[in-house]
Structure 1
Amino acid sequence: MDLKNYHEDLSHIRSMMERSSRFISLSGLSGVAAGVVALLGAGYAYYAMESKKVSYINGAGLTFTPDLVQELVFTGLVVLVMAVFCGYIFTANKSKKKGLKIWDATTKRLLVTFAVPLAAGGIFCSALIFHHLIVWVAPTTLVFYGLGLISAERYTLPDVKYLGYCEVALGLFSLFFLGWGLVFWSVGFGVLHIVYGLIMHRKYK
Protein backbone atom coordinates (compact mmCIF):
# COMPACT_ATOMS: atom_id res chain seq x y z
CA MET A 1 0.00 0.00 0.00
CA ASP A 2 2.83 2.38 0.91
CA LEU A 3 4.61 1.49 -2.32
CA LYS A 4 1.48 2.34 -4.31
CA ASN A 5 1.17 5.71 -2.57
CA TYR A 6 4.86 6.33 -3.21
CA HIS A 7 4.43 5.80 -6.96
CA GLU A 8 1.33 8.00 -6.99
CA ASP A 9 3.24 10.78 -5.23
CA LEU A 10 6.08 10.52 -7.75
CA SER A 11 3.62 10.70 -10.64
CA HIS A 12 1.97 13.74 -9.09
CA ILE A 13 5.33 15.48 -8.59
CA ARG A 14 6.39 14.64 -12.14
CA SER A 15 3.11 16.04 -13.48
CA MET A 16 3.55 19.27 -11.49
CA MET A 17 7.12 19.71 -12.74
CA GLU A 18 6.02 19.14 -16.34
CA ARG A 19 3.22 21.68 -16.04
CA SER A 20 5.57 24.28 -14.59
CA SER A 21 8.29 23.85 -17.22
CA ARG A 22 6.34 23.04 -20.39
CA PHE A 23 3.31 24.44 -22.17
CA ILE A 24 1.34 21.19 -22.45
CA SER A 25 -2.06 22.59 -23.50
CA LEU A 26 -1.14 22.90 -27.17
CA SER A 27 -4.09 21.44 -29.06
CA GLY A 28 -3.67 19.03 -31.96
CA LEU A 29 -6.80 20.50 -33.50
CA SER A 30 -4.99 23.84 -33.81
CA GLY A 31 -2.53 22.10 -36.13
CA VAL A 32 -5.38 20.70 -38.21
CA ALA A 33 -7.00 24.14 -38.46
CA ALA A 34 -3.69 25.76 -39.41
CA GLY A 35 -3.18 23.15 -42.12
CA VAL A 36 -6.63 23.71 -43.59
CA VAL A 37 -6.13 27.49 -43.59
CA ALA A 38 -2.73 27.07 -45.26
CA LEU A 39 -4.19 24.91 -48.02
CA LEU A 40 -6.94 27.44 -48.66
CA GLY A 41 -4.34 30.21 -48.79
CA ALA A 42 -2.17 28.21 -51.19
CA GLY A 43 -5.17 27.59 -53.42
CA TYR A 44 -5.94 31.29 -53.54
CA ALA A 45 -2.28 32.13 -54.24
CA TYR A 46 -2.25 29.71 -57.16
CA TYR A 47 -5.47 31.20 -58.51
CA ALA A 48 -4.06 34.73 -58.15
CA MET A 49 -0.94 33.82 -60.10
CA GLU A 50 -2.80 32.00 -62.84
CA SER A 51 -5.25 34.88 -63.21
CA LYS A 52 -2.28 37.17 -63.90
CA LYS A 53 -0.75 34.72 -66.41
CA VAL A 54 2.09 33.68 -64.07
CA SER A 55 2.64 29.93 -64.21
CA TYR A 56 4.54 29.16 -61.01
CA ILE A 57 5.44 25.66 -62.20
CA ASN A 58 7.64 27.00 -65.01
CA GLY A 59 10.68 27.43 -62.75
CA ALA A 60 12.92 30.13 -61.34
CA GLY A 61 12.82 32.57 -64.24
CA LEU A 62 9.46 34.10 -63.44
CA THR A 63 8.34 37.72 -63.43
CA PHE A 64 6.08 38.86 -60.60
CA THR A 65 4.37 42.22 -60.92
CA PRO A 66 4.31 44.48 -57.84
CA ASP A 67 0.53 44.04 -57.59
CA LEU A 68 0.86 40.26 -57.57
CA VAL A 69 3.63 40.36 -54.97
CA GLN A 70 1.49 42.55 -52.72
CA GLU A 71 -1.46 40.20 -53.13
CA LEU A 72 0.66 37.15 -52.29
CA VAL A 73 2.18 38.83 -49.23
CA PHE A 74 -1.26 39.89 -48.05
CA THR A 75 -2.55 36.35 -48.55
CA GLY A 76 0.35 35.00 -46.49
CA LEU A 77 -0.36 37.45 -43.68
CA VAL A 78 -4.05 36.52 -43.67
CA VAL A 79 -3.12 32.83 -43.47
CA LEU A 80 -0.77 33.57 -40.55
CA VAL A 81 -3.37 35.58 -38.62
CA MET A 82 -6.11 33.00 -39.18
CA ALA A 83 -3.83 30.11 -38.20
CA VAL A 84 -2.76 31.89 -34.99
CA PHE A 85 -6.37 32.77 -34.17
CA CYS A 86 -7.56 29.18 -34.66
CA GLY A 87 -4.61 27.89 -32.65
CA TYR A 88 -5.46 30.23 -29.79
CA ILE A 89 -9.13 29.20 -29.75
CA PHE A 90 -8.46 25.46 -29.66
CA THR A 91 -5.58 25.76 -27.19
CA ALA A 92 -7.56 28.06 -24.89
CA ASN A 93 -10.43 25.57 -24.83
CA LYS A 94 -8.06 22.73 -24.00
CA SER A 95 -6.43 24.76 -21.23
CA LYS A 96 -9.84 25.59 -19.78
CA LYS A 97 -10.86 21.92 -19.73
CA LYS A 98 -7.62 20.98 -17.95
CA GLY A 99 -7.86 23.88 -15.53
CA LEU A 100 -4.55 25.34 -16.67
CA LYS A 101 -3.53 28.92 -17.36
CA ILE A 102 -2.85 29.66 -21.02
CA TRP A 103 -0.65 32.66 -20.20
CA ASP A 104 2.19 32.19 -17.71
CA ALA A 105 5.99 32.38 -17.54
CA THR A 106 6.37 29.17 -19.59
CA THR A 107 4.11 30.52 -22.33
CA LYS A 108 6.19 33.70 -22.51
CA ARG A 109 9.42 31.72 -22.82
CA LEU A 110 7.83 29.54 -25.49
CA LEU A 111 6.71 32.53 -27.56
CA VAL A 112 10.07 34.29 -27.30
CA THR A 113 11.98 31.16 -28.29
CA PHE A 114 9.63 30.53 -31.20
CA ALA A 115 9.52 34.16 -32.32
CA VAL A 116 13.27 34.66 -32.76
CA PRO A 117 13.67 32.28 -35.77
CA LEU A 118 10.35 33.49 -37.19
CA ALA A 119 11.40 37.14 -36.96
CA ALA A 120 14.75 36.35 -38.60
CA GLY A 121 12.96 34.40 -41.32
CA GLY A 122 10.49 37.22 -41.87
CA ILE A 123 13.27 39.77 -42.32
CA PHE A 124 15.15 37.39 -44.62
CA CYS A 125 12.03 36.83 -46.74
CA SER A 126 11.43 40.59 -46.89
CA ALA A 127 14.94 40.99 -48.30
CA LEU A 128 14.25 38.26 -50.87
CA ILE A 129 11.08 40.04 -51.97
CA PHE A 130 12.93 43.36 -52.06
CA HIS A 131 15.49 41.83 -54.44
CA HIS A 132 12.73 40.17 -56.52
CA LEU A 133 13.82 36.63 -55.54
CA ILE A 134 10.25 35.52 -55.00
CA VAL A 135 10.75 31.81 -55.73
CA TRP A 136 13.13 31.55 -52.77
CA VAL A 137 10.48 32.69 -50.29
CA ALA A 138 8.57 29.41 -49.95
CA PRO A 139 11.65 27.27 -49.11
CA THR A 140 12.90 29.95 -46.72
CA THR A 141 9.65 30.11 -44.77
CA LEU A 142 9.66 26.33 -44.35
CA VAL A 143 13.25 26.25 -43.06
CA PHE A 144 12.89 29.10 -40.56
CA TYR A 145 9.51 27.86 -39.37
CA GLY A 146 10.98 24.41 -38.80
CA LEU A 147 13.88 25.92 -36.85
CA GLY A 148 11.35 27.81 -34.72
CA LEU A 149 9.50 24.60 -33.89
CA ILE A 150 12.72 22.80 -32.99
CA SER A 151 13.70 25.66 -30.67
CA ALA A 152 10.24 25.84 -29.08
CA GLU A 153 10.20 22.11 -28.28
CA ARG A 154 12.06 22.87 -25.07
CA TYR A 155 8.98 24.57 -23.63
CA THR A 156 6.14 22.51 -25.10
CA LEU A 157 5.30 18.99 -26.27
CA PRO A 158 8.45 17.07 -27.30
CA ASP A 159 6.69 15.83 -30.46
CA VAL A 160 6.82 19.37 -31.88
CA LYS A 161 10.47 18.92 -32.82
CA TYR A 162 9.61 16.11 -35.25
CA LEU A 163 7.31 18.44 -37.16
CA GLY A 164 10.16 20.96 -37.12
CA TYR A 165 12.61 18.44 -38.57
CA CYS A 166 10.16 17.62 -41.36
CA GLU A 167 9.62 21.31 -42.16
CA VAL A 168 13.37 22.02 -42.33
CA ALA A 169 14.06 18.94 -44.46
CA LEU A 170 11.20 19.80 -46.82
CA GLY A 171 12.38 23.41 -47.13
CA LEU A 172 15.96 22.39 -47.90
CA PHE A 173 14.79 19.83 -50.44
CA SER A 174 12.53 22.37 -52.15
CA LEU A 175 15.55 24.65 -52.73
CA PHE A 176 16.48 22.32 -55.59
CA PHE A 177 12.99 22.64 -57.15
CA LEU A 178 12.28 26.36 -56.95
CA GLY A 179 9.51 26.26 -59.51
CA TRP A 180 7.54 23.94 -57.24
CA GLY A 181 7.80 26.13 -54.15
CA LEU A 182 4.05 26.59 -53.75
CA VAL A 183 3.54 22.82 -53.82
CA PHE A 184 6.18 22.25 -51.15
CA TRP A 185 4.74 25.12 -49.11
CA SER A 186 1.30 23.50 -49.30
CA VAL A 187 2.70 20.18 -48.16
CA GLY A 188 4.72 21.71 -45.33
CA PHE A 189 2.20 24.15 -43.90
CA GLY A 190 -0.91 22.30 -45.01
CA VAL A 191 -0.57 18.52 -45.17
CA LEU A 192 2.10 18.12 -42.48
CA HIS A 193 0.15 20.30 -40.07
CA ILE A 194 -3.01 18.30 -40.59
CA VAL A 195 -1.25 14.95 -40.16
CA TYR A 196 0.67 16.17 -37.11
CA GLY A 197 -2.44 17.73 -35.60
CA LEU A 198 -4.48 14.53 -35.95
CA ILE A 199 -1.70 12.45 -34.41
CA MET A 200 -1.32 14.85 -31.49
CA HIS A 201 -5.08 15.05 -30.96
CA ARG A 202 -5.30 11.28 -30.63
CA LYS A 203 -2.20 11.06 -28.44
CA TYR A 204 -2.96 13.88 -26.00
CA LYS A 205 -6.75 14.22 -26.09
Structure 2
Amino acid sequence: MKQKDYLKDISEIKNLMNKSSRFISLSGLSGILAGIYALIGAAIAYYLVDTYSSGTLLLDGWIFRTVMLVLFLVALFSIITGILLTTKKAKKNGEQIWDSSSKRLISNFLIPLVAGGIYILIILTQGKYGQTGGLMLIFYGLALVSASKYSIGDIKYLGFIEITLGLIAALFPGYGFWLWVIGFGIMHIIYGTIMHFKYDIK
Protein backbone atom coordinates (compact mmCIF):
# COMPACT_ATOMS: atom_id res chain seq x y z
CA MET A 1 0.00 0.00 0.00
CA LYS A 2 2.83 2.37 0.91
CA GLN A 3 4.61 1.59 -2.34
CA LYS A 4 1.48 2.54 -4.30
CA ASP A 5 1.29 5.80 -2.35
CA TYR A 6 4.93 6.56 -3.13
CA LEU A 7 4.37 5.91 -6.83
CA LYS A 8 1.29 8.12 -6.79
CA ASP A 9 3.24 10.93 -5.08
CA ILE A 10 6.07 10.63 -7.60
CA SER A 11 3.58 10.74 -10.45
CA GLU A 12 1.92 13.87 -9.04
CA ILE A 13 5.29 15.58 -8.54
CA LYS A 14 6.25 14.74 -12.12
CA ASN A 15 2.99 16.20 -13.42
CA LEU A 16 3.47 19.39 -11.40
CA MET A 17 7.03 19.81 -12.71
CA ASN A 18 5.83 19.21 -16.26
CA LYS A 19 3.07 21.82 -15.91
CA SER A 20 5.45 24.38 -14.41
CA SER A 21 7.99 24.04 -17.23
CA ARG A 22 5.65 23.52 -20.21
CA PHE A 23 2.73 25.47 -21.62
CA ILE A 24 0.24 22.68 -22.31
CA SER A 25 -2.94 24.61 -23.12
CA LEU A 26 -2.40 24.81 -26.87
CA SER A 27 -5.70 24.17 -28.64
CA GLY A 28 -5.99 21.39 -31.19
CA LEU A 29 -8.98 23.13 -32.73
CA SER A 30 -6.82 26.16 -33.54
CA GLY A 31 -4.56 23.85 -35.57
CA ILE A 32 -7.55 22.58 -37.53
CA LEU A 33 -8.74 26.09 -38.29
CA ALA A 34 -5.22 27.22 -39.24
CA GLY A 35 -5.11 24.39 -41.76
CA ILE A 36 -8.48 25.42 -43.18
CA TYR A 37 -7.32 29.05 -43.47
CA ALA A 38 -4.19 27.85 -45.30
CA LEU A 39 -6.23 25.80 -47.79
CA ILE A 40 -8.55 28.74 -48.47
CA GLY A 41 -5.58 31.07 -48.93
CA ALA A 42 -3.83 28.60 -51.23
CA ALA A 43 -6.98 28.25 -53.35
CA ILE A 44 -7.27 32.04 -53.72
CA ALA A 45 -3.58 32.40 -54.58
CA TYR A 46 -3.73 29.58 -57.13
CA TYR A 47 -6.79 31.10 -58.79
CA LEU A 48 -5.17 34.55 -59.02
CA VAL A 49 -1.88 33.31 -60.43
CA ASP A 50 -3.46 30.83 -62.84
CA THR A 51 -6.18 33.22 -64.08
CA TYR A 52 -4.45 36.59 -64.29
CA SER A 53 -0.73 35.89 -64.79
CA SER A 54 -0.64 32.57 -66.71
CA GLY A 55 1.00 30.76 -63.81
CA THR A 56 3.89 33.25 -63.49
CA LEU A 57 4.38 35.30 -60.34
CA LEU A 58 6.29 38.58 -60.82
CA LEU A 59 7.73 40.42 -57.83
CA ASP A 60 6.57 43.86 -59.00
CA GLY A 61 3.11 42.79 -60.14
CA TRP A 62 -0.22 43.31 -58.37
CA ILE A 63 -0.77 39.54 -58.31
CA PHE A 64 2.34 39.08 -56.17
CA ARG A 65 1.25 41.81 -53.76
CA THR A 66 -2.21 40.28 -53.53
CA VAL A 67 -0.81 36.80 -52.88
CA MET A 68 1.45 38.24 -50.15
CA LEU A 69 -1.61 39.92 -48.61
CA VAL A 70 -3.49 36.61 -48.69
CA LEU A 71 -0.57 34.85 -46.95
CA PHE A 72 -0.42 37.63 -44.36
CA LEU A 73 -4.15 37.32 -43.67
CA VAL A 74 -3.84 33.53 -43.34
CA ALA A 75 -1.07 33.99 -40.75
CA LEU A 76 -3.00 36.76 -38.97
CA PHE A 77 -6.24 34.78 -38.72
CA SER A 78 -4.30 31.71 -37.56
CA ILE A 79 -2.53 33.70 -34.83
CA ILE A 80 -5.73 35.39 -33.63
CA THR A 81 -7.61 32.07 -33.61
CA GLY A 82 -4.76 30.37 -31.77
CA ILE A 83 -4.63 33.09 -29.10
CA LEU A 84 -8.40 33.10 -28.55
CA LEU A 85 -8.84 29.32 -28.36
CA THR A 86 -5.67 28.78 -26.32
CA THR A 87 -6.70 31.51 -23.86
CA LYS A 88 -10.11 29.91 -23.51
CA LYS A 89 -8.57 26.48 -22.89
CA ALA A 90 -6.05 27.86 -20.37
CA LYS A 91 -8.83 29.56 -18.38
CA LYS A 92 -10.86 26.36 -18.45
CA ASN A 93 -7.87 24.43 -17.08
CA GLY A 94 -7.15 27.10 -14.47
CA GLU A 95 -3.78 27.97 -16.04
CA GLN A 96 -2.16 31.33 -16.69
CA ILE A 97 -1.90 32.34 -20.33
CA TRP A 98 1.16 34.54 -19.83
CA ASP A 99 3.71 32.93 -17.53
CA SER A 100 7.36 31.91 -17.76
CA SER A 101 6.61 28.75 -19.76
CA SER A 102 4.48 30.56 -22.35
CA LYS A 103 7.14 33.28 -22.68
CA ARG A 104 9.82 30.66 -23.33
CA LEU A 105 7.50 28.94 -25.79
CA ILE A 106 6.91 32.12 -27.79
CA SER A 107 10.56 33.22 -27.82
CA ASN A 108 11.79 29.80 -28.94
CA PHE A 109 9.11 29.72 -31.64
CA LEU A 110 9.69 33.25 -32.94
CA ILE A 111 13.50 33.25 -33.21
CA PRO A 112 13.78 30.72 -36.10
CA LEU A 113 10.48 31.92 -37.60
CA VAL A 114 11.50 35.60 -37.75
CA ALA A 115 14.99 34.75 -39.00
CA GLY A 116 13.46 32.56 -41.71
CA GLY A 117 10.94 35.24 -42.67
CA ILE A 118 13.68 37.85 -43.10
CA TYR A 119 15.77 35.43 -45.16
CA ILE A 120 12.81 34.63 -47.42
CA LEU A 121 12.14 38.35 -47.98
CA ILE A 122 15.80 38.82 -48.92
CA ILE A 123 15.79 36.09 -51.56
CA LEU A 124 12.44 37.33 -52.90
CA THR A 125 13.97 40.75 -53.54
CA GLN A 126 16.66 38.89 -55.51
CA GLY A 127 14.00 37.32 -57.71
CA LYS A 128 14.50 33.79 -56.39
CA TYR A 129 10.96 32.45 -56.14
CA GLY A 130 11.50 28.71 -56.55
CA GLN A 131 12.66 27.94 -53.01
CA THR A 132 10.16 30.12 -51.15
CA GLY A 133 7.65 27.37 -50.33
CA GLY A 134 10.36 24.98 -49.18
CA LEU A 135 12.01 27.60 -46.99
CA MET A 136 8.70 28.51 -45.36
CA LEU A 137 8.16 24.87 -44.46
CA ILE A 138 11.72 24.35 -43.19
CA PHE A 139 11.86 27.42 -40.94
CA TYR A 140 8.35 26.81 -39.64
CA GLY A 141 9.30 23.22 -38.84
CA LEU A 142 12.43 24.39 -37.04
CA ALA A 143 10.31 26.84 -35.04
CA LEU A 144 7.94 24.04 -33.98
CA VAL A 145 10.79 21.74 -32.93
CA SER A 146 12.42 24.58 -30.98
CA ALA A 147 9.16 25.46 -29.20
CA SER A 148 8.25 21.84 -28.43
CA LYS A 149 10.62 21.86 -25.43
CA TYR A 150 8.25 24.24 -23.67
CA SER A 151 4.88 22.90 -24.81
CA ILE A 152 3.16 19.68 -25.81
CA GLY A 153 6.02 17.51 -27.01
CA ASP A 154 3.91 16.15 -29.86
CA ILE A 155 4.33 19.36 -31.86
CA LYS A 156 7.92 18.38 -32.62
CA TYR A 157 6.61 15.57 -34.83
CA LEU A 158 4.65 18.11 -36.86
CA GLY A 159 7.88 20.12 -37.03
CA PHE A 160 9.82 17.13 -38.39
CA ILE A 161 7.15 16.58 -41.04
CA GLU A 162 7.25 20.25 -42.08
CA ILE A 163 11.05 20.16 -42.35
CA THR A 164 10.91 16.98 -44.44
CA LEU A 165 8.32 18.49 -46.78
CA GLY A 166 10.47 21.61 -47.07
CA LEU A 167 13.53 19.58 -48.05
CA ILE A 168 11.48 17.71 -50.65
CA ALA A 169 10.28 21.06 -51.99
CA ALA A 170 13.92 22.19 -52.23
CA LEU A 171 14.69 19.11 -54.34
CA PHE A 172 11.58 19.56 -56.50
CA PRO A 173 10.83 23.32 -56.52
CA GLY A 174 8.15 22.83 -59.16
CA TYR A 175 6.04 21.11 -56.51
CA GLY A 176 6.70 23.72 -53.81
CA PHE A 177 3.17 25.10 -53.90
CA TRP A 178 1.52 21.70 -53.45
CA LEU A 179 3.94 20.69 -50.70
CA TRP A 180 3.14 24.02 -48.99
CA VAL A 181 -0.54 23.11 -49.21
CA ILE A 182 0.16 19.71 -47.66
CA GLY A 183 2.37 21.14 -44.90
CA PHE A 184 0.40 24.19 -43.83
CA GLY A 185 -3.06 22.97 -44.80
CA ILE A 186 -3.56 19.22 -44.62
CA MET A 187 -0.95 18.45 -41.94
CA HIS A 188 -2.33 21.18 -39.66
CA ILE A 189 -5.80 19.72 -39.95
CA ILE A 190 -4.54 16.18 -39.24
CA TYR A 191 -2.33 17.31 -36.35
CA GLY A 192 -5.04 19.56 -34.89
CA THR A 193 -7.59 16.73 -35.03
CA ILE A 194 -5.24 14.34 -33.24
CA MET A 195 -4.39 16.92 -30.56
CA HIS A 196 -8.07 17.85 -30.12
CA PHE A 197 -9.10 14.30 -29.32
CA LYS A 198 -5.94 13.54 -27.34
CA TYR A 199 -5.77 16.65 -25.13
CA ASP A 200 -8.86 18.87 -25.55
CA ILE A 201 -11.63 16.32 -25.04
CA LYS A 202 -11.65 14.90 -21.54
TM beyond 0.5:
yes
Q: Is residue 2:40 matched to residue 1:40? A: yes
Q: Read off the aligned partner of 1:27 and give its amino acid letter.
A: S
Query: In structure 1, how many angstroms separate the alpha carbons of the residues matched to 2:52 and 2:60?
Result: 9
Q: CA deviation at 1:69?
A: 1.7
Displacement over 4 Å in runs of 4+ = 62-65
**2:75 maps to 1:80:** yes
Alpha-carbon distance, 1:39 to partner: 0.5
Shift, 1:63, TM fit: 4.3
Question: Using the alignment, how far apart are the partners of 1:24 and 1:96 within structure 2?
Answer: 12
Q: 1:51-92, CA deviations, whole angstroms, 9 ceiling, x for partnerless residues?
A: 313326xxxxx6454212211111111111100111112211
Partners of 1:17 and 1:134 in 2: how far apart? Answer: 45
Gaps of 5+ in 1: 57-61
Q: Deviations over 1:155-193 (max 9, x none)?
A: 011111110000000011011222222211110000000
Instruction: Provide Cα deviations, 1:102-151, integer angstroms capped at 9, x if missing partner.
Output: 11011111111110110111111101211111232111100000011111
1:3 and 2:30 equivalent?
no
Contact 1:28 1:201 in 2 (8 A): yes
Q: Decide whether aligned partners of structure 1 residues 65 and 51 sit closer, same or farther in structure 2, where only a CA change above 3 A counts.
A: farther
Of 126-135 and 166-175, more deviation after overlay is shown by 126-135
How many angstroms apart in 1 are the aligned matches of 2:8 and 2:90? Answer: 23
1:15 alignment partner AA: N
Matches within 5 A, 1:79-98: 79-98=74-93
What residue number does 1:168 align with? 163
What is the aligned partner in structure 2 of residue 49 from structure 1?
A: 49
* Structure 1 match to 2:148: 153
Q: Distance in 2 between matches of 1:194 and 1:63?
A: 31
Task: State the TM-score, normalizing by the size of structure 1.
Answer: 0.92
8 Å CA contact retained: 2:169, 2:176: yes
Contact 2:48 2:63 in 1 (8 A): yes
Q: Say yes or no: does 1:103 pair with 2:81.
A: no
Q: Do 2:58 and 2:64's aligned partners in 1 also have CA atoms closer than 8 Å? A: no
The answer for the alignment partner of 1:69 in structure 2 is 64
